[in-house]
Amino acid sequence: MKDQDKLKKLLTCIDLTSLEATDHEESILNLVTKANEGYQGLHPAAVCVYPNFGDLVRKTLVNSINTAVVAGYFPSGQTFTQTKINELKLIDQSTVEEVDIVIHRGELLAGNFEFVKNEIKLMREAVPSKILKVILETGELKSAANIKKASEIAIESGADFIKTSTGKGATGADLQAVETMCIVISDHYKRTGKKIGIKPSGGIREIDDAIKYMDLVNKILGDEWMNNKLFRIGASSLYSAIISDLANNK
C-alpha cells in the first residue's frame, strides 16, 4: 500500500493535461469533468490545454482549479520571437491563470544565452499577471551544465516555475535533471528569498516514480515546497491510477 498522505498530496499537484493534435471541444470538456469530479474533495492543481481551449476550460472548471495553456510555439520553440509574443498577448487577454512556455533549445545549445534570456523576458512581459512556467526540455540539453544554465536563465528572466519537459520529446523527465533544477532553485532562494516552483513532467508513468520526484524535491527544497503553489507534476496518465489506489486502500 502506498503512503496515502503522499498520494493525496500528489493528486493535488498534478497538472491534468491534454495536448493532442486531435483535441476538440468534447474531449476537452470530458477532461474538465474528470478534474471537477476529483476525489473526496481533492482536485488537480490545474488543467492544461492548447490556448484555443483556454477560455472554454476556465468557464467550465471549478474555481479552485487553475487553467493553464501552453505557448512559445510549443513544443519546438522554433519560430519568430514576434510570433511567440503575439501568441502570449492573445493569451494575456484570456481568462486563464497560467502559461507554460518553451525555451529555444537551439539557441541555448549554441551558447546564445542573451538571446534566450531576452526572449523569455519578452514573453514574461506579454503575460505580466499570469503564472509563468518555463519548460527547459532537459532531455535535449545534453548535460547537467546546460540544464543548470537554462534553469538560471529562466529564473532570472521571470519564471515562476521551471519545468523539465513538454512530454513531446524523445526523453522526458529524469531525477538527475530535477536534482540540478532544484539546486538552482535552492541557491536562488538563499540569495534572494524568492521561491521558484518546480515541475517534473514527461514520461512519469508509474506512481512509485512520481513519488520519487516528490521525495527528491522535498529533500532538496523542503516541506515549504510541498504544495501546488510551488510543486507540480505532469503525470496525467497517473491521475486515475492514484484515485483508484486511494479508493482501494482506505
Query: Which residues are annotated as catalytic?
Result: 100, 163, 199
* Nearest one of 168, 154, 195 to 73, comparing CA atoms: 168
- Grid cell of 118 as nine digits: 531576452
Rounded Cα gap, residues 84 and 180, in angstroms: 28
* Nearest one of 103, 128, 102 to 116, comparing CA atoms: 103
65 contacts 81 by C-beta, under 8 angstroms: no
* Nearest one of 206, 200, 134 to 173, comparing CA atoms: 200
Phi and psi at residue 231, in whole multiples of 5°?
-130, 125
The kind and range of the H/E element at 88 are: helix 81-92
Establish how many alpha carbons lie within 13 A of residue 106's alpha carbon, considering only the half-sphere containing its beta carbon: 5
Q: 17 - beta bridge partners?
A: 48
* Nearest one of 123, 153, 125, 160 to 45, comparing CA atoms: 160
65 contacts 47 by C-beta, under 8 angstroms: yes
Q: Is the peptide bond before 75 cis (omega within 30 degrees of 0)?
A: yes
13 contacts 19 by C-beta, under 8 angstroms: no
